[in-house]
Amino acid sequence: MKINGTPYRTIWPSANDAEVVIIDQTKLPHRFETVTIGTVEDAARAILTMQVRGAPLIGATAAFGLALALRADASDQALADAIALLARQRPTAINLRWALEEVRVTVAPLPIDARAATAWAKAKAIADDDVETCRRIGENGLALIRAIAEAKAPGEPINILTHCNAGWLACVDWGTATSPIYQAHDAGIAVHVWVDETRPRNQGAALTAFELKSHGVPHTLIVDNAGGHLMQHGKVDMCIVGTDRVAANGDVANKIGTYLKALAAHDTSVPFYVALPYSTIDWTLASGRDIPIEERGADEVLNMYGQHADGCVASVAITAPGTAAANPAFDVTPARLVTGLITERGVAPATRNGLLSLYPERRETAA
């Protein structure tokens, strides 16, 4: 997608393939800066500090990080150590482990001196595949938006609520939840997005609003608690969110607060869709109960980060000193609250059979 007219991906190999470059998402929307990642430690740090975040992008970054590790040492021990290092940076997004396993099974059978180049090519393929997968998620979600548009008065915008950032900045391009929105907008369908600010890291305010603005999609930022009210008053036609891990029964882990939006949507009969690539499904988990939920630092809750009128970007405390804070970063929305799962293979009910209808090759192995 474009920033100031220039097309970008969120991660790309440097010109000589020596390193990989990312957009530093901790600086957005106030500054656009890129960071060069040259070692596995750099990649691990970028994931931990959320210079890159969002399930598919975390996976792609981990794949490049593993390839960089193998350039330094491609032994079995180094492979295992690098996988362990990268995997422990963020616990909830399954794409991280998925991408590491994709690289591991590709390189482990190879002679040591062939591993690094093959891992690099695999990391590039994972990134390219994510772009195409998200594009197809968008096509499938577009059909849902079109159906709602046809039931409305001509030109009346479709109001879509989204939470966190499941946009192109969370992926390599297009996004998951936003791909249908971009494709609808590009097809001339009037869409308007309610953007949840998404405390405490404000991915909605800082990232989703930024990328929608960059692409010219009409949107309005709302505080996290406003969604239920808007739904009660008929101002939301559908919700589309992303996810960090989907269990085999269709339970969905996503950014904290997603569950409350799904409850409000259920109560007000607003369709609640979850958009995801195949790499976000954890076929080993029978339900969402066992999805590990990342606990983050209290400092993210106790402080707000933003830009002062003089242009200085800084953090300010919002509580009295000594206030206790808890910071669970994700929650699990039960499948019964999800209207449908939008994937690259089509839209399915959020049930085990629904998922298996799209991925029949998993029938024998799914939990």
For residue 244, indicate whether it is catalytic.
Answer: yes
Beta strands in 234-282 (DSSP E): 238-241, 245-247, 252-255, 272-275, 281-282
State the nearest-atom distance from the C-beta of 326 to ligand MRU, in Å. Answer: 16
Q: What residue has token string 């393939």? A: 17
**Residues near ligand MRU, by CB under 6 A:** 53-56, 93, 164, 166, 170-171, 176, 203, 242-244, 254-255, 329
* Residue (43 or 119) nearer to ligand MRU, CB: 43
* Residue (76 or 299) nearer to ligand MRU, CB: 299
State the nearest-atom distance from the C-beta of 241 to ligand MRU, in Å. Answer: 6
State the nearest-atom distance from the C-beta of 92 to ligand MRU, in Å. Answer: 8
* Residue (54 or 138) nearer to ligand MRU, CB: 54
For residue 186, how many other CB atoms are within 10 A of its CB?
13
In the bound state, the residue with its beta carbon closest to ligand MRU is 242
* Residue (116 or 129) nearer to ligand MRU, CB: 129
CA nearest neighbour of 167 among 155, 150, 185, 149: 185
Catalytically annotated residue among 224, 244, 251, 331:
244
Residue 37 contacts by C-beta under 8 Å, 6 or more apart in sequence? 19, 20, 21, 22, 43, 46, 61, 64, 65, 68
* Residue (20 or 55) nearer to ligand MRU, CB: 55
**3-state secondary structure at position 252:** strand
Q: Which tokens in the block code for residue 213?
A: 């603005």
3-state helix, strand, coil split of the chain in percent (to 5) is 45, 20, 40
Going edge to edge, which strands form the sheet with 11-13? 11-13, 20-23, 34-37
State the nearest-atom distance from the C-beta of 295 to ligand MRU, in Å. Answer: 12
Q: Rounded to whole angstroms, how far apart are CA atoms 209 and 193?
A: 9
Q: Give the active site residues.
A: 244
